[in-house]
């Protein structure tokens, strides 16, 4: 498996040959304006294509084919000829890298928001969407025929723009899905009825695409292997759809997971790697000869190779893996597996940014979206750099500075590297954070960063090293709230619990219902403790990203963690926590507790923040980054670490 012989085996997709079996699937990256792709869009994909070998096929989009189906204001469009010249320029750049491209045709249907498109969304029927909280308008026959024509016209533009293939999204709960599903298609005309009637729209769209592009232009259909929504398609129904897709003339079926409104997590950290390969495997067993690609939570070429070696799919789609590391395949082929910066499925920079209608970035790769602005070239003048703090900010600063050719020494006051990422990896379903810590540990060795553990910066070390640049990345400390009884022996702190340096009793109350409090509760509940989380605000887990919050709360509830909001902790007694519900004295409540865990947040390390004032830095350049500036998430810490290392 070391040579990745299956990954790097060519494959034919219709008239198109791919040099390897890895697809970078369509992802919304938010790098478009008024329908036009931006320079950042081009730079983002070009860097991934230019890494040799890069993905065998890059699928971009979705490109909306009708403004009524726009997903967000920063979606790209292909509903007009005016977008073709810009897309031609994009394809010329990618093709210079000898990489194939495809464009995904997109229509959101009832998943469109009325405030974005300026009118009521449309769909097969008028079934309200749990995703948008809106009710769509059913399309008339004439409107359906017009949309089918739009698909065909858009596909013609795809070919004219120089793409090598076109993809039709039939997944995720978008318009084609809405026609396929009995949950959203209640029509009694030829576009409704049984599964064969509900496939009519799909088949006519494929026919319109084929008429527009010709039979020699590869067509990919992206399907949900199971909708994972009660009352909608399971894998068994999708197999029927897949067989019909093959009969209709598609050249590849790319299989993903369920709809956006599913309650089954699809892409978050708590989903096991490769959990949905079985969907592609099931569809592949039913189709006669059409290649099938698998997808979702495959972040490692080793796993991709195993899937192919076991004959479970013909190709593997890896999306966020290429966001995290554009050189992932090249490193695999060169045997540099330790150097692959894997996606940890934290969603902080990708899906959370999509929901905020921002261009994506990446927690582990802060260069995303600014590739051309941040080439990792050697600095003009190598310098000696001293970094205080071995958390994510300090580690990223050390890696970046070393990559730029500087001599780097990193001091960490504890016995290990990783900072809060080590603790973040402890709760169940959050283990991927350990992957990031391991990556950084390896990089310190590979990049020859001198690491001094159990070491703080003092005047003697400053004199010995005589650095040109000092970067303070000393992190944060836990907040000790002003609560009566806070110094009781039954009171401990969340970080100490996760570190394993304190034990708790059987009945635990956690003061603080943010991410740390909830995840500490999950950790303790998994150990069999009776856990109650108290949050003084109206929203539990308010600091958790939108795309992950519901899955974490769901997991916590499944583990038996009781989560109470609007509970202000006012006193800790020998065996209980006293709260005011809604902050009102008349709603005073007592919550029994053997142990009280404090998880009310973090603040910059005051002692370390004062370090510059305690020493004479003379003419040295000094920077402060990460939580010692302001306690936040890993995505901010790592970005600031990169920027600091890059500026030197």
Query: How much is the pLDDT for 609?
Result: 53
Residue keyed to tokens 């205080």 = 388
pLDDT, tens only, 450-507: 999 999 988 888 889 999 999 999 999 999 999 999 999 999 999 999 999 999 999 9
Q: Is 320 exposed, middle or buried (0-12, 13-18, 19+ CB in 10 A)?
A: buried
What does pLDDT average to in each consecutive run of 10 residues of the chain (648 residues)?
86 97 98 98 98 96 96 97 98 97 98 97 97 96 98 98 98 98 98 98 98 97 97 97 97 96 95 97 94 97 97 98 97 96 97 96 98 96 96 98 98 96 97 97 97 92 92 95 95 97 97 98 98 96 95 97 96 93 82 97 76 64 93 96 97
Q: CA torsion sign, 513 to 515 to 518 to 520?
A: negative
DSSP-derived secondary structure letter, 537: S
Question: Could you check whether the bond before residue 53 is cis, i.e. omega within 30 degrees of 0?
Answer: yes
pLDDT, tens only, 253-267: 999 999 999 999 999
Is pTM beyond 0.85? Reply is yes
232's CB contacts (< 8 A; 6+ apart) are: 181, 182, 183, 184, 259
DSSP 293-320: EE-SS---HHHHHHHHHTTS-SEEE-SH
134's CB contacts (< 8 A; 6+ apart) are: 110, 113, 114, 120, 121, 128
Query: Going by DSSP bridges, is the β-strand pair 16-18/22-24 parallel, antiparallel, or unpaired?
Result: unpaired
Instruction: Give all domains of the chain, ordered by start, each with its CATH number.
Output: 11-355 (3.20.20.70), 384-477+604-647 (3.40.50.720), 491-600 (3.50.50.60)
DSSP-derived secondary structure letter, 264: S
Query: How much is the pLDDT for 614?
Result: 59
Question: Could you check whether the bond before residue 498 is cis, i.e. omega within 30 degrees of 0?
Answer: no
């Amino acid at each position: 498996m070391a040579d990745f012989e299956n990954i790097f085996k060519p494959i034919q997709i219709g008239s198109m040959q791919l040099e390897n079996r890895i697809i970078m699937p369509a992802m919304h990256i938010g790098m478009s304006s008024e329908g036009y792709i931006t320079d950042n869009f081009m730079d983002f994909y070009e860097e991934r294509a230019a890494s040799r070998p890069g993905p065998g096929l890059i699928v971009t989009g979705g490109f909306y084919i009708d403004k009524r189906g726009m997903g967000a204001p920063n979606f790209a469009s292909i509903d007009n000829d005016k977008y073709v010249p810009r897309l031609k320029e994009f394809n010329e750049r990618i093709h210079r890298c000898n990489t194939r491209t495809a464009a995904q045709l997109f229509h959101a249907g009832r998943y469109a928001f009325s405030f974005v498109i300026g009118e009521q969304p449309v769909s097969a029927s008028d079934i309200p969407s749990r995703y948008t909280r809106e009710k769509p308008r059913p399309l008339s026959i004439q409107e359906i025929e017009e949309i089918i024509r739009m698909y065909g016209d858009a596909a013609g533009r795809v070919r004219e723009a120089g793409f090598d293939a076109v993809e039709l999204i039939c997944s995720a709960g978008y318009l084609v899905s809405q026609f396929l599903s009995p949950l959203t298609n209640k029509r009694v005309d030829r576009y409704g009825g049984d599964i064969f009637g509900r496939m009519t729209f799909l088949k006519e769209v494929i026919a319109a695409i084929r008429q527009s592009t010709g039979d020699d232009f590869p067509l990919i259909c992206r399907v949900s292997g199971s909708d994972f929504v009660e009352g909608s398609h399971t894998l068994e129904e999708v197999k029927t759809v897949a067989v019909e897709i093959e009969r209709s003339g598609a050249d590849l079926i790319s299989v993903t997971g369920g709809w956006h409104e599913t309650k089954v997590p699809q892409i978050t950290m708590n989903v096991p790697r490769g959990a949905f390969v079985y969907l592609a495997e099931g569809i592949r067993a039913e189709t006669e000869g059409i290649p099938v690609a698998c997808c979702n939570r495959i972040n490692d070429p080793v796993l991709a190779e195993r899937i192919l070696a076991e004959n479970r799919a013909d190709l593997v789609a890896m999306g966020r893996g290429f966001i995290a590391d554009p050189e992932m395949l090249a490193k695999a082929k060169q045997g540099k597996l330790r150097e692959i910066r894997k996606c940890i499925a934290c969603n902080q920079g990708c899906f959370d940014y999509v929901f905020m209608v921002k261009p994506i970035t990446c927690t582990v790769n802060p260069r995303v979206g600014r590739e051309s602005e941040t080439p990792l070239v050697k600095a003009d003048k190598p310098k000696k750099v001293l970094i205080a703090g071995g958390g994510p900010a300090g580690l990223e600063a050390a890696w970046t500075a070393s990559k730029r050719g500087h001599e780097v020494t990193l001091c960490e006051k504890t016995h290990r590297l990783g900072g809060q990422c080590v603790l973040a990896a402890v709760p169940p379903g959050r283990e991927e954070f350990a992957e990031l810590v391991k990556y950084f540990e390896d990089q310190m060795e590979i990049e020859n960063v001198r690491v001094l553990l159990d070491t703080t910066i003092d005047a003697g070390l400053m004199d010995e090293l005589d650095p040109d640049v000092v970067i303070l990345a000393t992190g944060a400390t836990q907040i000790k709230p002003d609560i009566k009884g806070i110094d009781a022996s039954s009171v401990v702190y969340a970080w100490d619990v996760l570190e394993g340096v304190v034990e708790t009793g059987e009945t635990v109350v956690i003061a603080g219902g943010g991410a740390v409090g909830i995840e500490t509760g999950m950790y303790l509940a998994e150990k069999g403790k009776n856990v109650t989380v108290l949050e003084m605000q109206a929203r539990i887990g308010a600091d958790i990203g939108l795309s992950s919050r519901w899955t974490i709360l769901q997991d916590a509830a499944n583990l038996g963690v009781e989560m109470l909001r609007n509970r202000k902790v006012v006193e800790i007694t020998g065996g209980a926590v006293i709260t005011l519900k809604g902050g009102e004295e008349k709603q005073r409540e007592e919550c029994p507790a053997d142990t009280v865990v404090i998880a009310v947040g973090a603040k910059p390390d005051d002692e370390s923040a004062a370090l510059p004032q305690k020493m004479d830095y003379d003419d040295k350049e000094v920077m402060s980054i990460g939580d010692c500036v302001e306690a936040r998430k890993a995505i901010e810490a790592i970005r600031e670490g990169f920027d600091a290392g890059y500026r030197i």
